[in-house]
Amino acid sequence: MRARAATWRKEGLSLGLVPTMGFLHAGHRSLIDRARAENDRVVVSIFVNPIQFGPGEDLASYPRNLERDREVCRAAGAEAVFLPSVSAMYPPEARARVTMTGLTETLCGASRPGHFQGVLTVVTKLFNIVQPDRAYFGRKDAQQLAVIDRLAQDLDMPVEVVPCPLVREPDGLALSSRNVYLEPEERRAALILSRSLALGRNLLAGGETRAEKIKLEMKALIEEEALVRLDYLEIVDASTMEPVVEIDRPILAALAALVGRARLIDNFSWPDPGD
């Protein structure tokens, strides 16, 4: 992969990278399409990164379908699919890990200790191997996007981190590879998450600025659905990921919930980023 990317760069071609854990869906396809439109060559990495999973999480059962993933990449026009092995990415003698203070202590960082160290480490390695001009990440993982953007800035990485819109099913459910875990009744129940976010957005549009008031109404709606167990629901400063009391700046309203075997996340930004 490193040699192929170096050849393209010597030819003066721009490179776009779409990092994924595979089991590609329409959200991933939108990232590849964006990369295809903005670069001469597109690399899609597929790697289920073991060090971003915690004890008891779904590393072993995480959905995989490499043949279908290759076909999605081929149809979207990606020039390369990078499929590194765990042993290649993390040889036994490897000791280094990448960490960050701030941005990673709240939301998923609080619920999944060590998760962002795993994300930061694998993304750093992918950036070093491919050396892309641009890398594409969806806003569904809003905290991850903020963390990776800060990583690139703070370590002077010559890569533009490109945020891309969150993609939903027609009924509002945010696309996720983990949606495949949902039984039909759980799939129906999971719609309460996007409905609660719509409620929060409507309250903001109506002039409500008290974060606690908005959270209480959103939580009350989610609690009406017995199959959904809320992990967290927070309204945070979009720049710092720290909770806010009064909404007087750009914010992120983010939640995570367990629906059956699936841990689902969703969010909205205010004001809308407009990308």
Alpha helices in the chain (DSSP H): 2-10, 26-38, 66-76, 86-89, 108-111, 115-130, 142-154, 184-189, 191-205, 211-222
CA distance 263 to 58: 9
In the set 23, 28, 34, 222, the catalytic residue is: 28
CB 172 within 8 A of CB 195: yes
Place of tokens 């993982």: 141
Cβ 226 vs Cβ 188: under 8 Å: no
* Sign of the alpha-carbon torsion through 114, 117, 123, 129: negative
C-alpha–C-alpha distance, residues 197 and 193, integer Å: 6
> Residue 44: enclosing H or E segment and its boundaries?
strand 41-46
28 is catalytic: yes
Are the CB atoms for 200 and 233 separated by under 8 Å?
no
User: Strands 80-82 and 41-46: what pairing?
Assistant: parallel
C-alpha 68/C-alpha 56 separation (Å) is: 27
d(CA 97, CA 181): 31
Residue type, 81: V
Q: Tell me the two tokens of residue 269.
A: 């930004």
The catalytic site residues sit at 28
